[in-house]
Amino acid sequence: MRIAPSITQKIAKFMLFAACASAIAALLFVIGFVLVGGLQNVTWAFLTEPILDMGRGGGILPAIVGTILMVFVAIGIAAPLGVASAIYLAEYTLEGKATQTIRFGINCLAGVPSIIFGLFGFILFVVIMGFGWSILSGGLSLAAMILPTVIRTAEEALRSVPQNYRDVAASLGATRWQVVTRAVLPYALPGILTGVILGIGRSIEETAVVIFTAGSAVQMPTSLFDSARTMAVHFYILAREGVSNENAYATASILILTILIINITAYTMMHRLMRGRRAA
Amino acid sequence: MDRIISKLLFFAACSSIAILALIALFIFKEGVPIMVKSGLGNFLFSQDWSPLEGRFGILTFMVGSLWITAGSLVLGVPLGVACAVFLAVFVHRRAAMILKPAIELLAGIPSVVYGFLGVMWLAPIIRERFGGPGLSILAASCVLAIMILPTIVSVSIDAIQAVPRSYREGSLALGATEWQTAWRVTLPAARSGILAGVILGMGRAVGETMAVIMISGNATQIPHSIFDSVRTLTANIAIEMGYAVGEHREALFATGVVLFFFIMILNVVALRVSRRKF
Amino acid sequence: MSADRVKIAIRDLNVGFGDVEALKGVSLDVRLNEVLSIIGPANSGKSSLLMAINRMIDRFPEASLSGSVKIDGVEVSGFRNVEDLRRRVGMVYAMPIPLPMSIRENILFGPGFMKRVKRSEGDSIVESTLKAAYLWDEVKDRLGSSAMALSGGQQQRLCIARTLATNPEIIMFDEPCSGLDPISTAKVEDAIKELKNDRTIIFVTNNTKQAARVGDRTAFLLMGELVEVDDTAKIFTNPSDNRTEEYVSGKFG
């Protein structure tokens, strides 16, 4: 007995819908579970007090500051380097052997697991270069890790600029660099910013790299050479050591909220960019 | 002037390759000597991991990584591809524009949060229903499956959308239903792209550390069922690095070398596969 | 007489893109202060000819070029600064390409590369170029608004004004009216006829009637070869070459 194709289609469609729904459900569950468990403990005091008693009490201000400083270092290096690389790949290259190697390098770098970046950062920055466990070591390692993300997004943004604009600028007498800065970059900026924002998001959620390179000191960091913990690290330690479930949930809530805000910002920026283009 | 800028940009672009080379250099420098000293075959295939006695065999951890990765693929690939087909074929573009980023949002949630949830919620359920410690291959596979889902979905959607519209329209014009078209025409055509996505997902699963530490139990043993605890290569590095010295530390770096190699191979395979035209 | 002085001298120009020969042995003079129309069916090499003159062809790595192109006796390939060359030779494309900025910013885009343009100087450039492009009256009250909001015909005239802002001695038009309605087309043609008084104009078009309206002399390109070039009246009434006759009478193309 053959089943009619239209019935097969209905069954298939339902199963596929179920798959999608469960994925979305998982997402909502994760976010909901954490926020419900944790938001109640996120008070202003929590956000602004120092870490007490290895996390059992007090707040998470040092972790917040540590996160911000480390992200600053990471983006401060990865953004210029990444955008410059993207400009080279999108505007200057002749797609020869050198470029193929570079692209291969970027793709491979994107696949390297975070723990390897942790080991790398440990050996190079903490030990050999003598920075010790520090925000600097952590930031540098994170920069290496997010570089491929920034490059890829930026290159795509640059490539989406219509070729016409470059032609017009060139025919009016612009040098190659002027074509890039005057005609291409302004148009590609939202896309590039999206990549930077995504890089920031990745830095915030990363744990393995940070533990290996920045340690996990609870004090408020006073310089880039201080060891510090990020929110993700703090959360991990709280969770793993079973120290304080409430604080763990609360920290996780802040983490998730931050990342939600970052991702939504990035996506709405991209959407507005797309819509703006189509109107033009 | 323009030439100087050109050169500067070129050097910037080379930074990626330089970093990759540095990573390889340092990891290898620290790890290869101990591999040689233990003997490569011994290092890779011995179950005996006794750092205090100077014996370093990582087979147990490789098996652990293998089980967990396989588990996450078994769960994650069908789910991911199904989602991708649903979003790419059956859903209006407007809805897809919201749903796709929503699924990608799953990728933004820190791995430690996933691990935490696994411990708090999933592991107890497994322990009650199926016995064992709860912190197990099964738990880890479930969590990892969700974690690699966005990668598989994203790449699969791209692969499906890259199939020429004419294939789909030709099939529909012959009287096939949407589903028949998707199953018989579009999916096979998108096969290599989807495979590339699966391989990338595999790479993520193998490389995942924090979540795995939290929910896989970290028992240094060869598992006999999916309810047993295991320890992965990544977990071992992360756990023991905190107190390892001397040869022990070198052996952990050597584990990193193995990981690095494996991921590189996966990347190259993924690239080759995605370039192959159906 | 000034009308007979040669502004651009092209000798034996061959242009190829990979295996495809776009121009074969083209030799042509463009005289000072004339409008030279170039006609011919698609793929005759008209655009390639223009690109060889302002060296936009340099942007194609697969392009090969031989022969000589001289402006005022100087080889274009000999210009130390290709940007200088491109400021002296303006180009208006077939599709209007307004940049996503205000009308004023569009016009001042070119001059901005060389130096900072003072506000008063910028104002006068904007006004004079828009007047020369027959667009001033329509937009003078909204110079700060986006150029993307203009109609197709207005955008194309804006592009002309933008090209004029660098004060080029030579302006090349590559089928500038292809997407425009008849009224806009008429305005563009009027602008061109005015412009030739101070400059030299090359005007490429697919439309033979338009070539006849606008050009002092007309050149006919077919499949990369220059078939003939002569006074417009002669080309259209009594051409020397058979192929020209067939093209202008509409037998093909």
Summarize pLDDT for A43-73 with one digit per residue, the tens.
Answer: 777 777 777 777 677 778 888 888 999 999 9
Q: Which of A196, A78, A209 is nearest to A141 (CA)?
A: A209
Q: If you measure CA to CA, which chain A residue comes closest to B113? A: A252
Q: Which of B110, B128, B122, B135 is nearest to B210 (CA)?
A: B110
Residue-averaged pLDDT of chain C: 87
Mutation site, A91, A167, A171, interface C, largest C CB count within 10 A = A171
C59 close contact with A: CB closer than 8 A: yes
For chain C, state the CA radius of gyration. Answer: 18
Residue C187 is predicted with a pLDDT of 87
pLDDT of B68-121, one tens digit each?
999 999 999 999 999 888 888 888 778 777 787 788 788 888 989 998 888 888
Give the DSSP H/E element, type plus range, for residue C68.
strand C63-71
Q: What's the DSSP call for residue B217?
A: B
pLDDT of A144-191, one tens digit each?
999 999 999 899 889 988 888 999 998 888 888 889 988 899 888 888
Give B222→chain A minimum CA distance, Å: 23
Give A127→chain C minimum CA distance, Å: 47
Residues of B in contact with A153 (CB under 8 A): none
C113 close contact with A: CB closer than 8 A: yes
Residues of A in contact with C96 (CB under 8 A): none
pLDDT band at C178 (very low <50, low <70, confident <90, very high): confident
With a cut of 50, say whether residue B253 has pLDDT above it.
Answer: yes
CATH class of the structural domain A55-279: mainly alpha
What is the residue extent of each domain of chain A? 55-279
Give C239→chain A minimum CA distance, Å: 34
Residue C36 is predicted with a pLDDT of 92
First-to-last alpha carbon distance for chain A, in angstroms, is 56
Taking residues B131-147, report their average pLDDT.
88
Give C242→chain A minimum CA distance, Å: 36
Q: Which has more pLDDT, A241 or B137? A: B137
With a cut of 50, say whether residue A279 has pLDDT above it.
Answer: no
Contact between A221 and A73 under an 8 Å Cβ cutoff? The reply is: no
Question: Which segments of chain C does DSSP mark as H helices, in order?
Answer: 46-53, 82-88, 103-107, 119-132, 136-139, 152-164, 182-195, 208-214, 232-237, 242-248
pTM check: above 0.90: no
pLDDT of A3-53, one tens digit each?
777 788 888 888 888 888 888 888 888 888 888 888 877 777 777 777 777
C54 close contact with A: CB closer than 8 A: yes
The verdict on a CB contact (< 8 Å) between A187 and C59 is no
The verdict on a CB contact (< 8 Å) between A24 and B209 is no
Q: If you measure CA to CA, which chain A residue comes closest to B258? A: A116
Give C236→chain A minimum CA distance, Å: 32
Return phi, psi of residue B198, to 5°: -65, -40
Residues of C in contact with A175 (CB under 8 A): 83, 113
Residue B73 is predicted with a pLDDT of 94
Task: Indicate the range of A4-8, A235-239, B254-258, C152-156 predicted with least confidence.
Answer: A4-8
The verdict on a CB contact (< 8 Å) between B180 and A92 is no
Q: If you measure CA to CA, which chain C residue comes closest to A176? A: C83
Tokens (6 digits) for B23: 């990573």
The verdict on a CB contact (< 8 Å) between A26 and B146 is yes
Q: If you measure CA to CA, which chain B residue comes closest to A86? A: B13
Tokens (6 digits) for C158: 């804006």
Give C83→chain A minimum CA distance, Å: 4
Domains parsed from chain B with CATH numbers: 59-275 (1.10.3720.10)
Return phi, psi of residue B87, to 5°: -70, -35
Residues of C in contact with A160 (CB under 8 A): none
Q: Which of C224, C77, A114, A92 is nearest to B112 (CA)?
A: A114
pLDDT band at B232 (very low <50, low <70, confident <90, very high): very high
Taking residues B41-67, report their average pLDDT.
85
As for the ipTM of the complex, it is 0.87
B59 close contact with A: CB closer than 8 A: no
Taking residues B127-149, report their average pLDDT.
88
The chain A residues in contact with chain C (CB within 8 A) are 94, 164-165, 167-175, 178, 182-183, 187, 279-280
pLDDT of C208-253, one tens digit each?
888 888 888 999 988 888 888 888 888 888 888 888 888 888 877 6
Residues 63-122 of B with CB under 8 A from A: 78-79, 82-83, 85-87, 90, 97, 99, 101-106, 108-117, 119, 121
With a cut of 60, say whether residue C66 has pLDDT above it.
Answer: yes
With a cut of 90, say whether residue A82 has pLDDT above it.
Answer: yes
**Which one of B38-42, B246-250, C88-92 scores highest in mean pLDDT?**
C88-92
Size of interface A-B (CB pairs under 8 A): 235
pLDDT band at A274 (very low <50, low <70, confident <90, very high): low
Residue A87 is predicted with a pLDDT of 93
pLDDT of B157-167, one tens digit each?
888 888 888 88
pLDDT of C200-213, one tens digit each?
999 998 888 888 88
Residue-averaged pLDDT of chain A: 86
Residue C118 is predicted with a pLDDT of 84
With a cut of 70, say whether residue B272 has pLDDT above it.
Answer: yes
pLDDT of C163-172, one tens digit each?
999 889 999 9
With a cut of 70, say whether residue A126 has pLDDT above it.
Answer: yes
With a cut of 70, say whether residue C1 has pLDDT above it.
Answer: no
Using CB atoms, pick whichever of B9, B14, B210 lies closest to residue A208.
Answer: B210
Tally Cβ neighbours within 10 Å of residue C148.
16
